[in-house]
Each structure stands twice: as C-alpha cells, then as structure tokens.
Structure 1
Amino acid sequence: MHQPRRALDKLPPVGLEFKIHLLRRLLDSAPEPLTVSQIMEGGPNRSFASGWYAVKALERIGVAVSVPKTAQCRVARYRLADGAAEVVGEFVVDWLRQEPRPRLSPLPGSKQYQQVLAVLGEYPDSWFTVNELTSKLSGVRKCARRPTVELYAAGYLLRRLSDGGKPGRVEYQYRLDPDAAPHARALLDA
C-alpha cells in the first residue's frame, strides 16, 4: 500500500480539505458503499460535479473503488478500496495534525479587533462566518473579514470549514480560542 500513500501525499493543496472530508466519510461508512451525494453530506458546500470529480480522483490513485450497479440500485456508489482503510486513516490523521494553531502573537489595541473579539467573547461556544460577524457589527463596521483573518493569524481565534459556503468557494467559521481568552480580554481592555 505504499503507492496509494505516496499518491495521497502528492494530492494538490487546492481542494484537499474537501477530499479529506470525502475520505473521512468513506472511512466511517466502510465497508458500505455510498453515492457521491452521500459521501458529500456534512462537508463543505460543493457542486455535485465537484464531488464526482473528487471521488474519481480518489479512485484514480487507488484508495476508492466504484461498486457495480445492481437491479436494486442503479446509482453509482463508491467505497474504500480493499486494504486502503489503514492507509487512508493514517493519512487523514496526519493531515488533521498538520494544521497547527497559529502561535499567539501580540496585536495592537485596534478598535476593529476589539469589535470582533467583543462579539466572539459574548458567544464563546458559537462559530461565526465572516458574514455573520459582519451582521453583528452592523452600523459599526462594514466588514469583519480583515480583522477576523488577522486575529486568526495572530492565534486569538480557532477556524473550521463551514458547510454553508457557496459551491466552489471555501468558507470558514471562527470562534474565540479558549486558550487565548485571557489575551483577548487584555486586548479588549487596551
């Protein structure tokens, strides 16, 4: 199984998060086959064509296989290739560990940062897209994108993929990093 692992390691970064989601769905359903729509469930919002092409890419590198259509099921279904579960599982775990949290870096006491941190501090267990944050800042700030991304890069926020984005576009959700909460409070007080 060295070939599939090398092929997985060589997957281009564009669309990799989506493929990781597909691999996780295939792992969770093993050995039951799933349709492309079922494999895409709960992941980033992409078009059916994007899902189909991603599954076909996984099939080409040998980690997924198509299941023949039957009289009972005339829809294409896919499952992990025989013997691929361990390799795919290791790859997914390695990838999930790869994106470490950004290290906490000091930021100046900016009003824009304070506005975003105030909203996130009010709802510490909630995740927000930039658009949702912007709507909570209505009348104060036209867009929360830049300060939110800068707060994430400085280690104050956590980030995850949103499942409500538009097809073909990655959208993230943000929340206050509990480990950085004391630093966020200090920034709010600045």
Structure 2
Amino acid sequence: MAHLPRALDALRPGGLEFKLHILRRLLDNDPKPLSASQIREEGPNRTDASTWYALKALERIGAVVIVPRTNECSIARYRLADGAHGAVSKFLAARSLCEPAPPLSPLPGSPQHQQVLTVLCAHPDTWFTVNDLTTKLIRLRKCARRPTMELYDAGYLLRRMSYRARPGRTSYQYRLNPDAARHAHALLDTPARSTNW
C-alpha cells in the first residue's frame, strides 16, 4: 500500500469531488460494503455510468475493491481495500482543510448576524451549508446567504468546499471560527441594530 498515497494525490481534478465523496462514504462505513446507490447518497448528482467509472478508477489504484456477489446479495458492492484506511483518511483530511479565515474585523450587530451566530455558536464544531442555516431560520422565511457571507468576510466563520455540491456549482460549508468565538458571543450580547434583509 506504499503506492496508494501517491496514487491518490495523482487523481485528476476532473471528477475529483465525486471520488472524494465515494471515499468518504466508504471510509465512514468501513468495513461494511455499500452498493453504488448507497455510495451516491447525499453526494453530487451523478449517473450510474459516472459512478461506475469513478469506482473503477479508485479500484485501479488500489483504494477500493468490489465485493463478490453472493446468493444473499446479487448486486455489486464496494468497500475500501485492505490496508487502505490510513492512506484514505490522510488524503481526505488534507483535501477537507478549510480556507484560511479572513482577518477579524469589526461587524455591527444586526438581527440577521445574531440569528446565524446563534445557530453556529450552539453547534461550534458542525459545518453548515447556507441552505442548512436557512432551514434553521425557516420561521423567518429569509435566506441566510447574505449574513453568512458578511460574517465570513469579517472573519467570524471558517469556510470549506462542500462535497454535496451539484455538478458545475461551487458550494461551501461554514462553521464558527474558534479564534473568533469570543467576539461572536460578544456580538450576540450586543443590542442589534435593525437592518433590512
């Protein structure tokens, strides 16, 4: 398995997000094998053919193996190859590093910032997409995109690419920046000035 880290690093950028998703799904379920449809769950929207090609590419480099069909299960299933767990974990960790946070800058408190920070401060280790945050604020019937971007630009949040993005679209996940947590809590305690969405 000494070749696997180099082979993973050499994966082509085209389709890489989907391959990362496949590896995450298999790593999270290791050693349980998954069918192609189970692997695609919550991932980028791909066809059966695209899934098969991505799995074959990962099988060729020795990261994934196909589990033989049995009388009990007549569909193809896949799992991480023996000995691949460590290399795949390191590869995914390196690829999921978040972008450096912008420098912390003052941000006047607004109800919208406070509502987004309330969710993020309650779950400081959880990554949320803008849609996730909007769902949490659904009673307001407003989108969380603008206040989330403003909080990120001011250094209150960390950002990383979301592997649930649709083809051709860049999507991000956000979480509270631990270095800005004290300032975020102070912003929550500040009387908010009223702003329009």
**Cα offset, 1:79, TM superposition:** 1.6
Q: Which residue of 1 is the match for residue 82 of structure 2? A: 82
**Counterpart secondary structure, 2:79:** strand
Q: Is the 2:104–2:155 Cα contact (8 Å) retained in structure 1?
A: no
For 1:108-141, what per-residue CA distance to the aligned partner results, in whole angstroms no more than 9, with x for missing partners? 6468xx45422113333256543417867657xx
Render the CA deviation track for 1:12-70: whole Å, top value 9, x for unaligned: 456545433422332343343221222334x4353353544432331232211222323
Deviation digits for residues 76-128 of structure 1 (CA, Å, limit 9, x no counterpart) = 111222332332233234444xx1462451436468xx454221133332565
Counterpart in the other structure of 1:70? 70
Instruction: Provide the residue aligned with 1:121 in structure 2.
Output: 117
Q: 1:136 and 1:157, CA in 2 relative to 1: closer, same or farther beyond 3 A?
A: farther
Partner residue of 1:102?
A: 100
Per-residue deviation at 1:173? 4.1
Q: Deviations over 1:134-157 (max 9, x none)?
A: 867657xxx653553353254311
Q: Letter of the aligned partner of 2:27 in structure 1?
A: L
Structure 1 unaligned regions, length at least 5: none
Match of 2:39 in 1: 39
Work out whether residues 101 and 158 of structure 2, in 8 Å CA contact, stay in contact via their aligned partners in 1.
no
Q: Which runs of 5+ in 2 are unaligned?
A: none
Question: Given residue 105 of structure 2, which amino acid in structure 1 is its aligned partner?
Answer: L
Aligned-CA RMSD value = 3.8
- Specify whether residues 147 and 36 from structure 1 end up closer, same or farther in structure 2 by C-alpha distance, changes over 3 A only: same
Contact 1:159 1:175 in 2 (8 A): yes
- For residues 25 and 186 of structure 1, the distance between their equivalents in structure 2, rounded to whole angstroms, comes to 37
Superposed counterparts of 1:1-190, under 5 Å: 1-13=1-13, 15-41=15-41, 43-49=42-48, 50-96=50-96, 99-100=97-98, 102-107=100-105, 109=107, 114-123=110-119, 124-125=121-122, 129-131=129-131, 132=134, 144-145=144-145, 148-159=148-159, 167-168=166-167, 169=169, 171-184=171-184, 185=186
Q: Is the 8 A contact 1:102 1:155 kept in 2?
A: no
Tell me the percent identity: 50
Name the TM-score, length of structure 1 as normaliser.
Answer: 0.67
TM-score using structure 2 length: 0.65
C-alpha separation between the residues in 1 aligned to 2:155 and 2:12? Answer: 26
Change over 3 Å in CA distance of 1:90–1:122 after alignment to 2: closer
Q: 1:153 to 1:11 in 2, by over 3 A?
A: farther
SS of aligned partner of 2:149: helix
Counterpart CA distance in 2 for 1:76 and 1:34 is 8
Following TM superposition, by how much is the alpha carbon of 1:186 offset from its aligned partner in structure 2, in angstroms? 5.2
